[in-house]
Structures are given as C-alpha cells and as structure tokens.
Structure 1
Amino acid sequence: MFTPLEITQILSTTPDRAFTLFSHRDHLAKWWGPKGMEMKIKTFDFRSGGIFHYLIKAGNGFEMWGKFTYLEIEAPNRITLINSFPNADAETVPAPIVPFGADWPLEMWTEYRFEPSGDQTLLRLTSYPLNASDASNQQFFENHDNMRLGFKGTFDALSDYLKTLQ
C-alpha cells in the first residue's frame, strides 16, 4: 500500500477567501502553476463535472497541458477533482516523460481542504493515483519529495498573490 501525497500550507486569509482563490478564473490565473512559468486558461467551468483546462509554458519553450475534472465542490471547505495531463483538446494522455517518467499515472484523485486555523487557513492537499498500475503507484510514491517542491512554488505564489489583495 502506497501512501498518498499530503501537503499543507498556512494561508493568511479566511477559508472563504482561500476557496474563492481556487474557484474563480481571474484569481487562479494570477497564481496557479510552477514558478517562472506562464499559464493560459483554455476552459474554466467550476462545477461538479466541469473542467479547468490550462497550458503552462516555460521560457525555454517547454509546454505542458493540465486538466482538473471537478468531482465535488463543498464551498468553502473542500474541492475534489481528478488531475490529469491532457492534450490541447482536453483528452487525457500520458504525462510528459520529462519531468514525470514513463510510468506516471494517467489520473490522480486530488482533494483541497480549507480549514480554519485561528485567523488563517490551513490548506491541505491530498492526492493519489487513480486506477493505476503498480509501476505507476511506485513512481508517484517515489516522487513525493519532487511534488512537494513543485507545490511549494505554487502555494508560495498563492501566498504572494494574497498579499496583493490586502
């Protein structure tokens, strides 16, 4: 049994406002994605069954599509979704071998929780491979540290964006 990826971050805002930053296109466009990469939103349909389909680009020409398929939305406490790497038409395809590897899972179940913590919010991310092979589960598990680093950059960008709103 592999353990899920779990990441937490304290945000200097209320759970209500933190949820809003995940649930509105204009906010998400200002902070989502790895540091130093430009993000373009192709589709943003924030509802159960809707999708967030986006492209991130690096200065060296590297491009990668991402997709969230929203499962459950419980404002302002929780968002669950399927995270995958699609093509430009939003069809789920294998993740880029670089940086993910040949056995990266096609889909990951992901949950974002927004929990009150005094006058701040504890953001809790939990993710694990969905319907994945043993090799995909292993690769996901072995990359927890890399994913924590990647999400640290994204969540740091969220914290920086929050400062611009105060």
Structure 2
Amino acid sequence: MTESQSTNSNPEEGKLVISRTFNALRELVFKVWTESKHLKHWWGPKGMTIEVAKLDLRPGGIFHYCMRAPDGHEMWGKFVYQEIVAPEKIVFLNSFSDTEGNTIRPPFSSEFPLEVRNVVTFTELNGQTTLTLQGGPHNATAAEHEFFKGMFDSMQQGFGGTFDQLDAYLAKI
C-alpha cells in the first residue's frame, strides 16, 4: 500500500519530479524496475499491455517495449540506460521508437522532445521505499522544453497510474 505520494515540477529547470513511497524493500522495488518478467506487469499507462522485446540492463543497453491498447493500437518505446547503481539509482534516456528500436517522434506531437532523460532514485526507510523520478528533455529545442513543461499535469497523471499499477504489483509478489 502506498504511504505517500507527491508530485511537483521544477519549472526553473523544466524537470518533472514525482515521488512515491511503497510498502516494499528497496531491493524489491529496484528488481521490479530492472527485470522484464516484472516490468511487463506494471510499466506503462493503465489499460495497456506491455510486451518486452528486449531488456539489456547495463550502461548503453536498452529496454525496448511495445504498449498495446485494448483496441490493438500499438506504441513502441525504449530506455537507453546511462547509469545503473543497484539498488540506488537508474539513469536512462526514454523515447518513443519503432519496432526496430529506432528513436522516433511520438504520435501525439511533433513538439514533444525526442528524448527525455530520467533519473530514478530508490531510498529506503523503515522497510518502505521512496522512489523519486526526475525527468526532463535531453538535447531539446526551446520549443520542445516549453511543450514538455506544458505536459506536466498529463505526465503526473500518467505516472500516477503507472505507479498505482506498480503498487498493486508489489502487493502481489
């Protein structure tokens, strides 16, 4: 069960910051972020199923996945891992992709950044883990930065749903 959740943005830096506390040990929360057998059960928007095409957990490695809606519509995405410090931190570039893993623009906007750099940290206190995600445009134009900031509310809702799924999954395993 979730103890607390906070969402806020840092408009000065243009980063989305979301923190959530889970009633699970840090090693377990880190594990479900780094293994395909777990990611497929909770990653992504509510209502979507996730197919893991590839997971290579190392700097330079990728997590390539397909998000499939109930109507069959597919969107592909990927992480390119930059840094992994088990069980404390994961740094990755997140983007939309094609089926081969090439970075592409998202289907909803030509102004959304091609890549978003995310830093996910895991801290444990009294058997609970606080996960903090900080994300912002990477190698983006001024217009892409502005568009990204304009999507904070939508992204907070999306990550809120994803973290709800993570919370439910952690309670089951």
Q: TM-score range by the shorter chain?
A: over 0.9
Task: Tell me, in whole angstroms, the C-alpha distance in 2 between the residues paired with 1:117 and 1:129.
Answer: 31
Counterpart AA for 1:112:
V
Residue 142 of structure 1 corresponds to: 150
- 1:126 maps to a residue whose letter is Q
Task: Give matches, 1:23-42, under 5 Å.
Answer: 23-42=34-53
Q: Identify the residue that residue 12 of structure 1 maps to in structure 2.
A: 23
Q: Following the alignment from structure 1 to structure 2, what is the Cα–Cα distance between the partners of residues 126 and 84? A: 15
Q: Distance in 2 between matches of 1:103 and 1:62?
A: 22
Counterpart of 2:162? Answer: 154
Task: Give me the TM-score of the superposition, normalised by structure 2.
Answer: 0.91
**2:38 corresponds to which letter in structure 1?**
H
- CA RMSD, aligned part only? 1.0
1:119 maps to which of 123, 127, 130: 127
CA deviation string 1:58-106 (max 9, x = no partner): 1123211010000000000000000011101101011112xxx220000
Deviation at 1:2, TM superposition (A): 4.0
The two structures have a TM-score, normalised by structure 1, of 0.94
The alignment-based identity, stated in percent, is 39
SS at match of 1:72: strand
Give the Cα separation in 1 of the matches to 2:89 and 2:144. 26
Find runs of 4+ consecutive structure 1 residues off by over 3 angstroms: none
2 CA distance for matches of 1:14 and 1:108? 27
Amino acid at match of 1:91: N
| Structure 2 segments unaligned to the other structure (5+ residues) | 1-11
